[in-house]
Chains A and B, each alone.
Chain A
Amino acid sequence: MKDIFTINGQRIEYEFDETDVLLDVLRNNGHYEVKKGCGEGECGACAILLDGILVNSCQILAASVRGKEITTVRGLGNVHDPHPLQEAFADTGAIQCGFCTPGMILASYALLKENPHPSDDEIKQALDGNICRCTGYVKIFEAVRLAAERMRKNV
């Protein structure tokens, strides 16, 4: 089947099977920034925003997202014009291998949009669905705090 997807503000038509999950359709069409860590909805590496809500794209049928806005980490910024969260993750050492980073940044983005001044506990709860094995999370928490501070100052 074919359908129009809206990804990072751009409308594009993809062909896929009705049983395909969104993760595979995105990756098959060049959205390699969406990572596959488990395919079971547990690790959060494939997290995207669907109409602003954080979801694991491996758990969603591609056929079910018609009319919805998909945001991946590439939709937030690029190397020439990064988002404050992308800068903060780089500045604090929150990125080691980086396989969890796209999902982590989107989870953080979803949090800060709702709650620009999160407590440490709120940060931890917001990142609960995203596994990182490299950093021990310490610097990821720091990155979210730093980004929140910078984003508040910019407003």
Chain B
Amino acid sequence: MSDLKNVGRSIRKVDALSIATGRALYTDDFPLENPLSLMLLHSPHAHAEIIAINTSEAELVDGVVDILTYENTPHTLYTTAGQGYPEPSPYDYRMFDRKVRFIGDRVALVAAETAEAARKALAMIQVKYGELEAIFDPEGSMEPLAPKLHGEDAYAPLPVKYDPLRNLAAEVELGFGDMAKGFSEADLIEDNIYHTHFASHCAMEPHATKAYFDEKGRLVVITSTQVPFHVRRTLARVLDIPLRSIRVVKPRIGGAFGGKQEIILEPMAAYVAWKHKRSVRFVLSRKEVFTFCRTRHPFRMRFRTGYLKDGTITAMDVDALMNSGAYGAHALTVLSNSGSKMLPLFNKIENVHFLGRTVYTNTPVGGAYRGYGATQAYFGFNQQIDIIARKTSQDILDFAKKWHIRNGETSEVFRILGEGKEGVEQYIGSCGLDECIDRGAEKIRWYERRDLHFSPVPEKVRGVGMAISMQGSAIPLIDMASASMKMNEDGSFNLHVGATDLGTGSDTVLSQIAAEVLGVSPEKIIILSSDTDLTPFDVGAYASSTTYLSGKAVEKCALNVREQILTTASQILEIPRDELLYGEGRISDRSRSTEVRLEEVCLHALYTKDQYQIQSCASHVASESPPPFMAQFAEIEVDTQTGEVKVIKFVSAVDCGRAINPRLAEGQVEGATINGISYALHENYIFSDNGRMMNDSFWDYKIFTAPDIPEIHTIIVDSEEKTGPYGAKSVSEIGLNGPAPAIANAIYDAIGVRLFETPFTPDKILRELKKL
């Protein structure tokens, strides 16, 4: 495939100039005629029952049209998790509820002619709460006497373990081999508990939904979402209105990272619009995004690893406790992924056991977040292997190479653990992890830096650390993507995809794939994505699926179109189809003496005889989920006086299969990496004793800005995944897995301090230094 013309080229994103010149429209940029402003009243209590709610005074505020509460809205149970049907997440959520379960939970919604009126009315709603005992610590959540968040009515639509009366939102257990034997054979056992913390996605565009009625009286919902088709399905069910009456449009999205795989605003917005037959505007404040939307699920993960003195691992036992917060969005699947995206990496361990539980607490709600459980799991995993490598006097790079999964190999975990059901057996068809490790090590100058404790000034010490990880590419046998395409008289093509570009560049990558198949430049592909009226179905942008899954649907669709072009060309040229060559923009005989241009092919098909439209559609379901692989290296400097950790240099080397657009792939890695470093060092939810997030602004929730950026290197290794479009796998999530453990391992390398809990703030460093 060395003669590729479009795939493998770093062309501009198809929407780049419209964004750069300020013309691209995001949800809140669509003008509506006199929309109602929607504004939420949030709970001041972590756990309470609403005894009485009095909206009568608020309703008298000039301009107030309606106030929604649990008393006047549908009671249908659903999940805000935007997943396939039936969802693997429990149905434990209503549009409004008589009970509030975390500070920031929804209590009431005001719909008013102006934002000022809505704000004024909010302050006049009188709510009498009956406070309930709250539980914040996931460790105590399942105790018999712990307060229960959800009643008997909450249920899981899939046959999975779910027990709200014990605060158990999900449970996953798997094992193979003989654990007793594995541990009895071990010379040593490494037994550690790792904690990861809350984090906000911090997409620059706050969650936003607008809705209006078109001229036929259908409801059009423009929304900042990763999952337009799941939004439509959920709205129809929750509002009990015909699905055919709803059109969901995804415009440009100002970042998502999993945070917009949630159906939070849409049901409320659509309900008000439908009830009053009015257009509505619902845009959250940054504070609401922090406190009311989703977070990264915190984990406690205990790793018990048995091993011989030579480093042979004899058993791995993982006990995971995931804090779901007040509702169970992605409660099962993030938990499953913490096992299924981690355990196969060291597939040579014969005795493995994993027990994971997700529990409810009265804290902000966890959800999908780039990395999706793998990020949390690899924090412990990579420190565990660093510790064992050191204790058995091995270089962690050699140790990792000895144990990681390779081409042609499989893992029992793939078969056992799926998403709400059994997994899918798969054999690795592409693994460039050795090359990732080698090239990353060279770039960070591993062998010149490791164990050196280099000290540029007396109080500062440097160190290097590494972390490896894998992710997946779509959910096998569950996720489906589709595409449709038609040809125009100038040899251009309209490509319609359900795939959801969140800023990731999927519109561009999918255009490149279509252009490659059809032998045209990408400008000849006119892409339209994510409109439930105009484009075919796609599950949406999650599970690292778009390039791999939607890309394959586009490739199939374009191949069908290409076949029709050849058939038509055969009629025009009167040469058998099998003797034709498909060239750039033209079809010719083998000697290239007779040819017909694509324009002529389309004109012939549309206007000459037995006229027809050259067009096709195709769907794709993946039978496996080939993992991308990554090795990440940190060089850090610890200030032993202040406890501050500074990243000096960070290297990410990735095997993402063939990069369809290398520059965009690098951008995915760089963005995930900086998010990961920022998460490891700064970002955190700081709670008051009663469960209120205290730092709900960018001033106090510090994320990396330009001056914080260290020297960054991204390496894309050569790789080809045969099941993917032009050899591609996924790339968007994996880069978040390595920063925290690579930095933790580097801190140990520098000062001999092992941090089992994120983030690595100065107080923790100083506390640990004192213990030395």
Chain A interface (Cβ < 8 Å from any Cβ of B): 27, 30, 32-33, 35-40, 42-43, 45, 72-74, 76-79, 82, 85-87, 89-93, 95-102, 105, 123-141
Interface: B418 (CB within 8 A): no
A137→B706 contact, CB < 8 A: yes
Residues on the B chain within 8 Å of A135, using CB: 667, 670-671
Task: Report how far A131 CA is from B355 CA in the complex, Å.
Answer: 39
On whether A134 and B10 interact (CB within 8 A), knowing A40-B698, A82-B21, the answer reads no
Task: Report how far A48 CA is from B16 CA in the complex, Å.
Answer: 20
Interface: B703 (CB within 8 A): yes
A97→B709 contact, CB < 8 A: no
Cross-chain contact of B705 among A30, A38, A86, A131 (Cβ < 8 A): A131
Interface: B29 (CB within 8 A): yes
Cross-chain contact of B21 among A43, A74, A97 (Cβ < 8 A): A74
Interface: B146 (CB within 8 A): no
On whether A131 and B709 interact (CB within 8 A), knowing A42-B697, A77-B21, A99-B26, the answer reads no
On whether A93 and B667 interact (CB within 8 A), knowing A39-B286, A74-B21, A136-B674, the answer reads yes
Task: Report how far A124 CA is from B666 CA in the complex, Å.
Answer: 20
Residues on the A chain within 8 Å of B13, using CB: 90, 93, 95
A97→B502 contact, CB < 8 A: yes
Cross-chain contact of A79 among B23, B666, B706 (Cβ < 8 A): B23
- Secondary structure class of chain A's binding surface, majority of residues: loop
- Give the A-B pair count, Cβ closer than 8 A: 184
Interface: B31 (CB within 8 A): yes
Task: Report how far A62 CA is from B704 CA in the complex, Å.
Answer: 30
Chain B interface (Cβ < 8 Å from any Cβ of A): 10, 12-13, 15-26, 28-29, 31, 201-206, 252-257, 285-286, 502-505, 663-664, 666-667, 670-675, 697-699, 703-707, 709, 712, 714
Task: Report how far A78 CA is from B22 CA in the complex, Å.
Answer: 8
| 6 pairs from A and B in contact (CB 8 Å cutoff) | A37-B204, A43-B286, A97-B204, A99-B205, A131-B698, A140-B706
B519 to chain A, nearest CB (A): 25
Chain A residue, CB-CB nearest to B713: A138
Residues on the A chain within 8 Å of B285, using CB: 39
Task: Report how far A138 CA is from B21 CA in the complex, Å.
Answer: 21
Task: Report how far A90 CA is from B21 CA in the complex, Å.
Answer: 10
B699→A99 contact, CB < 8 A: no
Extra inter-chain contacts (6) besides given A101-B20, A136-B674, CB under 8 Å: A33-B23, A74-B22, A93-B663, A96-B503, A123-B706, A136-B673
Residues on the A chain within 8 Å of B712, using CB: 136, 138
B205→A35 contact, CB < 8 A: yes
Task: Report how far A69 CA is from B325 CA in the complex, Å.
Answer: 48
Residues on the B chain within 8 Å of A86, using CB: 17, 20-21
Chain A residue, CB-CB nearest to B735: A136
A97→B697 contact, CB < 8 A: no
Cross-chain contact of B22 among A33, A127, A138 (Cβ < 8 A): A33
On whether A73 and B674 interact (CB within 8 A), knowing A99-B26, A131-B204, the answer reads no
B21→A128 contact, CB < 8 A: no
Task: Report how far A99 CA is from B24 CA in the complex, Å.
Answer: 10
A136→B709 contact, CB < 8 A: yes
The 5 closest A-B pairs by CB, nearest first: A33-B22, A97-B503, A99-B254, A136-B674, A98-B19
Residues on the A chain within 8 Å of B28, using CB: 27, 32, 36
Chain B residue, CB-CB nearest to A121: B707
Task: Report how far A86 CA is from B706 CA in the complex, Å.
Answer: 19
A57 to chain B, nearest CB (A): 13
B512 to chain A, nearest CB (A): 14
Residues on the B chain within 8 Å of A39, using CB: 285-286
Task: Report how far A112 CA is from B701 CA in the complex, Å.
Answer: 30
Task: Report how far A122 CA is from B416 CA in the complex, Å.
Answer: 53
B48 to chain A, nearest CB (A): 29
On whether A134 and B671 interact (CB within 8 A), knowing A82-B17, A82-B20, A96-B503, the answer reads yes
Residues on the A chain within 8 Å of B201, using CB: 133
A34 to chain B, nearest CB (A): 8
B707 to chain A, nearest CB (A): 5
B293 to chain A, nearest CB (A): 14
Chain A residue, CB-CB nearest to B663: A93
B675→A98 contact, CB < 8 A: no
A97→B17 contact, CB < 8 A: no
A98→B503 contact, CB < 8 A: yes
Cross-chain contact of B670 among A37, A105, A136 (Cβ < 8 A): A136
Task: Report how far A111 CA is from B482 CA in the complex, Å.
Answer: 45
Chain A residue, CB-CB nearest to B714: A138
On whether A78 and B705 interact (CB within 8 A), knowing A40-B699, A96-B503, A134-B671, the answer reads no
Residues on the A chain within 8 Å of B19, using CB: 95, 98, 101
A138→B505 contact, CB < 8 A: no
B296 to chain A, nearest CB (A): 14
Task: Report how far A27 CA is from B25 CA in the complex, Å.
Answer: 12
A90→B20 contact, CB < 8 A: yes
Residues on the B chain within 8 Å of A141, using CB: 706, 709
B698→A38 contact, CB < 8 A: yes
A3 to chain B, nearest CB (A): 20
Residues on the B chain within 8 Å of A72, using CB: 22
A79→B675 contact, CB < 8 A: no
Residues on the A chain within 8 Å of B16, using CB: 89-90, 95, 98
Task: Report how far A89 CA is from B253 CA in the complex, Å.
Answer: 18
Chain B residue, CB-CB nearest to A74: B22
B23→A97 contact, CB < 8 A: no
On whether A96 and B698 interact (CB within 8 A), knowing A37-B286, A90-B17, A133-B703, the answer reads no
Task: Report how far A72 CA is from B698 CA in the complex, Å.
Answer: 23
B665 to chain A, nearest CB (A): 9
Residues on the B chain within 8 Å of A123, using CB: 706
Residues on the B chain within 8 Å of A126, using CB: 706
Most buried by B among A36, A37, A39, A96: A96
B752 to chain A, nearest CB (A): 30
Residues on the A chain within 8 Å of B26, using CB: 32, 35, 99
